[in-house]
A and B are shown apart, each in its own frame.
Chain A
Amino acid sequence: MTGPEANPAEPDLRVARWAMWLPLGLFLSFVLLVVGGLLRPADHDVPSRMIGQPLPQFALRAAVPDRPGLARADLATGKPHLLNIFASWCIPCAVESPQIDALAGQGAEIDGIAIRDHSDDLAAYLARNGNPYSRIGADDVSAVQLAIGSSGVPETFVIDGKGVIRYQHIGDIRAEEIPAILAKLREAS
């Protein structure tokens, strides 16, 4: 009982020089992790995992009287298509509509799926914003939307000639994004 130095059975309480800094180092790396997470812009997109997968079987009734409905077979015609998921009640869709028109003007084949929409609301929307769609299917319970891994409106899918999903664009298409969409469409053909 003469002190820790004299007793060999007592554990050595002196801490190595580098180990003294260990708690501070751990704390600082934690702070770095948190600050990094706070500064990174939030990404709320939920991308579809169906890219590279064939479209599931579906057949939707016509959403408006002057365009036919949409089935899987209409998208696997040997020619790539754009599949626009939209709705008359969706404001970003209306914002996007000039770009959809422009894409159709540059030769893109565009089909639409209207999510949870009334026929007369949709007809008014198309009269107001233009109707570049070849076919528009009505998805009243989001069944096809869920089946292709889409989580909102608007979204635009590139479908190749065999009916395989090649690309997904989440959110409205901006004017500067048109060339990229056309490039994806060319890639799919």
Chain B
Amino acid sequence: MIREFGWVDVLYLVFAMRWTLALTATAFIGGGLIGLVIAVLRVSRVWPLQAIAVLYVQAIQGTPLLVLLFVFFFGLSIVGLPVLPWIAAALAFSIYAGAFLGEIWRGALDAIPKTQWEAGSALGLGFGEQLRHVIMPQAIRMAIPPTVGFLVQLIKNTSLAATIGFVELTREGQLTTASTFQPFAVYLTVAFLYFLTCFPLTQWSRHLERRSYGPA
């Protein structure tokens, strides 16, 4: 059943991108929620909570994503969940993204001068109110460029989900290669599709970074 790598295959690859993007979106939302908690724990003034956040980030950032994927993939059956690549990938990538986003956002929160917290507390605002009304609105501006930068990493790294059989762009490329035997053309096309998705984001992130802090 060997056939030529043609436009139809390119179209299939383009369609497979929706799973790349779906996994990215899922991981970004899941990781965003985890990251928010991690960042807030880090700036909380309760050291056991800080320690939990530090351990989480260190452990996840010190483990290859591939290992996380496999641990979750094979761990699913142990906790009684169906062994589906989609579930394993969504969990592993959320947990991975949570560590990196948490660290990025903590950096942004830390970059706000201590005196801003203090001014809030001198006005009688509680920790949550200071965070919500004083610190976060300022930190968000700073956090956006590196967050977009990480989004690029996330998109690229979803390619690893191919290794547990999740059919996204890279896996579709492997399947196409198997039926056309034209790996060079196929993988170059795959790379190009990733580039088309990532490059604009990279540029946007750079643009945001250069933008100065003006009135809202």
Mutual binders A and B: no
Q: Report which B residues bind A (CB closer than 8 A).
A: none
